[in-house]
């Protein structure tokens, strides 16, 4: 990656971090609380100086998910509908669905 700044303990240029680093761990989330991209909730908890905040349901049109392969920014709504990047086809880790409520309010 070249253009987007991703904070936290990343281990490569595709947003993988010390917590999640499989071939499919190629997204970063822009946190609602600070507007900064982090690879995961643990990275934010360990390195930010504030608690994490969720994106409200009424802000699903915000571009808040970054594909670490091609740097395409997805809206929250788009990310929640796909299993791979719509721009480059990189597969996303389906296990991330287990943590959705850490980043986004759920209905």
pTM, full prediction: 0.93
Q: Which residues of the chain fall short of a pLDDT of 50?
A: 1
> Residue 30 pairs with which residues in a beta bridge?
37
pLDDT at 107: 83
Residue 30's H or E segment, with its range, is strand 27-30
d(CA 29, CA 40): 7
pLDDT at 67: 98
DSSP string across 32-59: TTT--EESSHHHHHHH-SS---PBPGGG
């Amino acid at each position: 990656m070249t253009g987007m700044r991703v904070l936290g303990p990343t281990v490569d240029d595709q947003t993988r971090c010390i917590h999640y680093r499989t071939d499919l761990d190629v997204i970063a989330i822009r946190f609602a609380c600070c507007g900064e991209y982090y690879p995961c909730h643990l990275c934010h908890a360990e390195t930010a100086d504030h608690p994490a905040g969720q994106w409200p349901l009424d802000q699903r049109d915000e571009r808040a998910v970054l594909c670490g392969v091609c740097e395409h920014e997805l809206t929250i709504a788009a990310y929640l509908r796909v299993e791979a990047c719509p721009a480059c086809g990189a597969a996303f880790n389906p296990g991330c669905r287990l943590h959705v409520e850490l980043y986004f309010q759920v209905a």
